[in-house]
Amino acid sequence: MMATATEASTSVVARRLTALRQGLDELSAVAGILDEWADRLLDAFARGGTLYVAGNGGSATLASHLVGELVGKYARDRRPLPAVWLGADQCSVTAIANDYGYASVFERAVAALTGPSDISILMSTSGRSENLLRAAEAAASTGCATWAMTGPAPNPLSDLCDTTLSLPGRAAQVQELQQIAVHLICELIDERLLGAA
């Protein structure tokens, strides 16, 4: 007997939620990375550094979201924090893509803007995007710290970066977990700056 559409969709939902719960358990197991990142970000900000964030597609959306939470606010009012989404300047992105190819869009921005006081977070579900690999190499050449948020490791981006938050699953699940990680970083920063809510 064939499953009804409702039964089939319930099965899909159940499988996805089970996988997400398992992913949350894995995120919990590496939560120490988020604590370390929050501390290091605040130290960099105190020394005049800036956070630069990049990603493609859904990861670009998460990169933009992280920057918005830091420059604006997450949950409580606090001073704005210096963060830049490298996809925001459409003129630069399209000019670089036109003149040098899309693989260079973040590399050239990182080379132009970053230095030893700064941190870059490169977000990718695959860890294989050429433009992020080049950005990691450019950051290393300027002395900028490089952190990656990726899907399952090992992958080329995690190999190039100083530290990696590697999350399990297919692209959609990795992005869901990255969204939670972004909010956790912001919550940790708020707590360190403002005390427990």
pLDDT score recorded for residue 197: 78
Q: Please state, in angstroms and rounded to a whole number, the distance separating the CA atoms of residues 83 and 64.
A: 10
Q: Could you tell me the two tokens for 39?
A: 């501390």
Its CATH architecture, for the domain 31-194, is 3-Layer(aba) Sandwich (3.40)
Q: Find out whether 179 and 193 touch, Cβ atoms under 8 Å.
A: no
pLDDT tens by residue, the chain, 197 residues: 556 667 667 788 999 999 999 999 999 999 999 999 999 999 999 999 999 999 999 999 999 999 999 999 999 999 999 999 999 889 999 999 999 999 999 999 999 999 999 999 999 999 999 999 999 999 999 999 999 999 999 999 999 999 999 999 999 999 999 999 999 999 999 999 999 87
Q: Please state, in angstroms and rounded to a whole number, the distance separating the CA atoms of residues 101 and 119.
A: 24
pLDDT score recorded for residue 10: 79
Q: Please state, in angstroms and rounded to a whole number, the distance separating the CA atoms of residues 110 and 122.
A: 11
Closest to 40 measured CA to CA, from 162, 122, 131: 162
Burial of 2 (0-12, 13-18, 19+ CB in 10 A): exposed
> Model pTM?
0.92
Q: Where are the domains positioned within the chain?
A: 31-194
